[in-house]
Structure 1
Amino acid sequence: MPKFLTTPEGRKIAYHLTDGTGPAIIFLGGFKSDMGGTKAVFLENWARGQGRAFLRFDYSGHGDSSGAFTDGAIGDWLRDAQAAIGLVAGPVVLVGSSMGGWISLLLARAMPDRVAGLVTIAAAPDFTEDSMWAGASDAQRAALMTDGQIALPSDYGDPYIITRRLIEDGRDHLVLRDPLPLPFPVRFLQGTADKDVDMAVALRLLDHAQGADMRLTLVDGADHRFSDDSCLALIADTITDVIARR
């Protein structure tokens, strides 16, 4: 059973915290994902075997946390993550998957003194603007502004309900338009067969961010889930490398 924390905004965030040595590894999941996903559970078990502290949690409106998904936005989920990180002391290594990659970059910008390293997996920075809004038709944009939400098809089940607030709040949290210093070891992981986040996004992120120790690894044939045995092993090895180089 998860434990719960209450954020300053009053949201109840479900989490699992494994005690161990630092820096603690913080897993940040994706859009409409929960902390019971393959990568999060694998990394928890791996971290436990390493004797290392590990935290996974559900953003509000996701998994076991309080709230409705359609009420949330990037800024809310960023503040949820900040509250969750408050559960651990000292430096942390952020591991952000998809939207969690965007959240991890926001965290790195907001609390650089806490971040010892960063690993992203199919990071999707600024996707509300560069994918959802940019890919919407004129009719969809008009409906979004008039009705407050639209439904977009999803390969992962029910359609995504996209709200006007999600789009407008996303514009307040973009990371690819302003300087993005990452003064710690950074590893970006990206599959070449990812249909949700194009390789161009990873290349743009690598080009845009500023840091002395940044690398992008492309995995031939890996999809957005990035969850087969070889990909999971690569994530673990990459975290090990980041910790060793911090």
Structure 2
Amino acid sequence: MAEVEYLNTDAGRRIAYHRTEGKGPWLVFLGGLKSDMEGTKAIHLEAWAKSRGQAFLRFDYSGHGQSSGRFEEGCIGDWAEDTAAALSALTEGRVILVGSSMGGWQSLLFARAHPDRMGGLVTIAAAPDFTEDGYWASFTDAQKAALQQDGQVELPSDYMDPYIVTRRMIEDGRTQLVLRTPLDLPFPVRMLQGTADSAVSTERATALLDHATSPDMRLTLVKDADHRFSDGTCLKLLENAVLEVMNP
């Protein structure tokens, strides 16, 4: 297996990545919160891209995986900077983004800022605006008070160890929201969502579908699939979604 490489960004962060040269457009996987580039979907897509001779990139945001920094120090805006830096330095031309969970939000932020680079978008349980509509909206008064006083609260998860949500993550998230203002996605979009996902609801998927404008945007609901979306059936659906946006 190829050794991990590193990109030093202008923001002073060291981003770990795996990059495979090939034909365009570049296929780029954007992982979820506290996930890393060694997950099942990222590895599967890399192998699939290699079999097609397709250019492919996977990387870890700062505070994730093998990149520099601590998770608790990061926020949505930092990871958007990491994404923009990685795509600028490590890919050329049009890109097809595959964004999983928080990576779906990151892919929308990149698409909004760089529509000229987008060839297509595939999301898996996309979680735009979750710091506000998920975390903050569900916090008790005691949690909100602790966030203000201590600067952080600890939350459990069905899919990972308990993790820290910081006041900086909440406050920065409010500057990165994509569902409060018009969101134009002038390229093919495929959204994949499991109905048994306990981290991201089907309502969140339909909210994004209703809010965004696109000439070719479709949502596929997969009965009983959970947030991991990593079994054989789901991975085949992911491959097909990439092909659809790549060859509309």
Q: TM-score range by the shorter chain?
A: over 0.9
Provide the rounded CA distance (Å) in 1 between the counterparts of 2:211 and 2:218.
13
Q: Count how many residue pairs are aligned between Structure 1 and Structure 2.
A: 245
8 A contact 2:158–2:199 mirrored in 1: no
Matched, 1:7 2:9: yes
Q: Deviations over 1:178-198 (max 9, x none)?
A: 000000000111011110101
8 A contact 2:16–2:66 mirrored in 1: yes
**SS at 1:207's partner residue?**
helix
Matched, 1:74 2:76: yes
In the TM superposition, what are the counterparts of 1:39-54 in structure 2 within 5 Å? 39-54=41-56
Shift of 1:93: 0.3
In the TM superposition, what are the counterparts of 1:26-105 in structure 2 within 5 Å? 26-86=28-88, 87-105=90-108
**SS at 2:61's partner residue?**
coil
Q: Normalising by structure 1, what TM-score?
A: 0.99
Amino acid at match of 1:93: I
Residue 167 (structure 1) aligned to one of 166, 170, 175: 170
Amino acid at match of 1:163: T
Residue 111 (structure 2) aligned to one of 108, 113, 120: 108
Q: Which runs of 5+ in 1 are unaligned?
A: none
Quote the sequence identity (%).
Answer: 64
In the TM superposition, what are the counterparts of 1:204-215 in structure 2 within 5 Å? 204-215=207-218
Amino acid at match of 1:61: G
Provide the rounded CA distance (Å) in 2 between the counterparts of 1:160 and 1:29.
17
Shift of 1:155: 1.9
1:20 match: 22
Provide the rounded CA distance (Å) in 2 between the counterparts of 1:88 and 1:24.
7
**SS at 1:47's partner residue?**
helix
Matched, 1:117 2:135: no
Provide the rounded CA distance (Å) in 2 between the counterparts of 1:156 and 1:204.
23
Shift of 1:157: 3.6
**SS at 1:158's partner residue?**
coil
Provide the rounded CA distance (Å) in 1 between the counterparts of 2:5 and 2:32.
20
Provide the rounded CA distance (Å) in 1 between the counterparts of 2:23 and 2:146.
50
Q: Deviations over 1:194-245 (max 9, x none)?
A: 1010100000000000111100000111000000000001101110111001
Matched, 1:191 2:200: no
Q: Normalising by structure 2, what TM-score?
A: 0.98
8 A contact 2:16–2:59 mirrored in 1: yes
**SS at 1:113's partner residue?**
helix
Query: What is the alpha-carbon root mean square deviation over aligned residues?
Result: 0.6
Shift of 1:158: 2.3
Provide the rounded CA distance (Å) in 2 between the counterparts of 1:127 and 1:17.
29
